[in-house]
Amino acid sequence: MKNAEGYVPRSAAHTLGDDLAFSLYSTSLAMTKRYKPLLEPLGLTYPQYFAMLTLWANDEVTVKSIAARLSVDSATVTPMLKRLESQGYITRLRGSSDERLVFIRLTDRGRALYRDAASVPAAALHATGQSRQFLTQLKDALDELRANL
């Protein structure tokens, strides 16, 4: 029931602790914070790490393809890719038949970084304190939630 100012007493209101979006947001922040010390020795930020994971799985792909895989637009991913290029991890090449296309290719240094990053997933998994089975089920549920949204 609202009072004269339109305020709903706490017992009847939706609280921050009840909000799914806040739980997802704050968990994402905590995960980002946990990854930071794992990625700093590699010279990568959290978003750069995901871009590199995409490239380690499929080298020589377009900027548009990377952006789609990361669920962002090309304008968002382009500055990040330019930083990865300045670090010597990738090269950016214009398409020969269509210059609007920009292809991203790993350099030897970018490929070598894969070996250096090999311990990151296990360290992140360990930091959660959860079983692999639980985290796999959680990931699947989150993937389904994202698809539904």
Note down pLDDT in tens along the chain; length 149 residues: 566 666 666 665 667 778 899 999 999 999 999 999 999 999 999 999 999 999 999 988 999 999 999 999 999 999 999 999 999 999 999 877 877 889 999 999 999 999 999 999 999 999 999 999 999 999 999 999 999 99
Q: Which long-range contacts (CB under 8 A, 24 or more apart) does 87-95 make?
A: 87/43, 89/52, 89/113, 90/55, 92/63, 95/62
Q: How far apart are CA 144 and CA 146, in angstroms?
A: 5
pLDDT of residue 23: 92
Ordered by where they begin, the domains of the chain are 39-117 (1.10.10.10), 119-149 (no CATH)
pLDDT of residue 100: 82
Closest Cα to residue 52, out of 28, 93, 88? 88
Read off the tokens for 116: 């250096």
What backbone phi and psi angles, to 5 degrees, belong to 94? Answer: -70, 145
pLDDT of residue 4: 64
pLDDT of residue 8: 61
CB 14 within 8 A of CB 44: no
Beta strands 102-106 and 90-94, pairing class:
antiparallel
Q: How far apart are CA 2 and CA 8, in angstroms?
A: 5
pLDDT of residue 50: 96
pLDDT of residue 119: 95
